[in-house]
Amino acid sequence: MFVDSHCHLDRLSEHTHGGDVAATLDAARAANVSQFLAISTTLEELPGLAAIARAHHDVAISAGLHPLHQEPNEPTVDDIVEAAEQYGAVAIGETGLDYHYQESVSVSVQHERFKRHLIAANELELPVIIHTREAKEDTLALLREYSNPQVGGVIHCFTEDLDMAREAVRLGFYISLSGIITFRNAASLRTLARQLPLDRLLIETDSPYLAPVPYRGKPNEPAWVVEVAECIARERGISVDEVAMQTTVNFYHLFRAAAPDAPAHVKEALAQSGLVV
């Protein structure tokens, strides 16, 4: 079984099963994807995401404001906490720093927004989902200052270098790999997938974006997280079953609020690794 640890179910393309969330999830379940984390990029999205989660027992949600979203009224720490509690989020984010499009949201605003999310995550003892692009040093500096290693989080859709990945792991974070790992020009990511401990990896689609090979150019969907797992398995010279099981266990270790809904055999594996749900 597989987990899609980062998808945007409220943004499905009309070309993805007609934009039908239920049909999209059914296609993923048929591919043995058994859990989905639907990611918030604005707090205004939360009612819609919560409705999807209520309709599908295997969907969990996060609460956060993307670093590049232009927001006239910046949420306070209390706003983030209240939204996460109201809608039953299992994580805070996605949040972080993105310097590739600095004209969108200023660096100073991004820093303050990121700090507020990290503080909210600490208050709730929920993991934080990090978006980072061309902001390695500042991202790590803020994680060192404000994140809680006992709660941790994940750097999603990781595209940075091995040194950053190792430092993030040291700070209590997981590294999530997306369909980018299958791209021809992503040799450095495939090297990273071989060198990081398997018990610190997650897999994701970031759908409807970044469809993996052989689906590049199409709207991405959660079923294709299997392609990410298969690529990691090839690189590490292990079975895809091992990648699937370990990344699934990793997911529930990190997102513990979602663990009570894990399948029975996953709960057994979690118990064996010290997490009772």
- Name the E strands within 77-233: 91-98, 128-133, 153-155, 173-177, 201-203
Residue ranges in the chain modelled with pLDDT below 50: none
On whether 261 is known to bind a ligand per the annotation, the reply is no
CA distances from 103 to 18, 67, 150 (A): 34, 12, 35
What pLDDT, on the 0 to 100 scale, is given for residue 275? 67
What pLDDT, on the 0 to 100 scale, is given for residue 261? 76
On whether 82 is known to bind a ligand per the annotation, the reply is no
On whether 17 is known to bind a ligand per the annotation, the reply is no
- Minimal CA–CA distance to 144: which of 126, 170, 180, 162? 170
pLDDT tens column, 188-208: 999 999 999 999 999 999 999
What CATH architecture does domain 2-272 belong to? Alpha-Beta Barrel (3.20)
What pLDDT, on the 0 to 100 scale, is given for residue 276? 59
What pLDDT, on the 0 to 100 scale, is given for residue 223? 98
Integer Cα distance of 200 and 273 in angstroms: 14
Integer Cα distance of 128 and 78 in angstroms: 16
- Minimal CA–CA distance to 182: which of 222, 234, 134? 234
What phi, psi does 129 have (nearest 5°)?
-100, 120
Integer Cα distance of 229 and 179 in angstroms: 9
On whether 8 is known to bind a ligand per the annotation, the reply is yes
Distance of CA 132 to the CA centre of its chain: 12
Using a cut of 0.75, tell me whether the model's pTM lies above it.
yes
What pLDDT, on the 0 to 100 scale, is given for residue 277? 63
pLDDT tens column, 210-251: 999 999 999 999 999 999 999 999 999 999 999 999 999 999
- Minimal CA–CA distance to 4: which of 20, 18, 27? 27
At CA 19, angle to CA 14 and CA 23, rounded to 5? 140
On whether 6 is known to bind a ligand per the annotation, the reply is yes
Integer Cα distance of 273 and 173 in angstroms: 18
Contacts of 275 (CB under 8 A, 6+ apart): 252, 253, 256, 259
Integer Cα distance of 211 and 217 in angstroms: 7
What pLDDT, on the 0 to 100 scale, is given for residue 166? 97
Q: At what angle do helices 162-170 and 187-195 cross, to 10 degrees?
A: 40
On whether 94 is known to bind a ligand per the annotation, the reply is yes
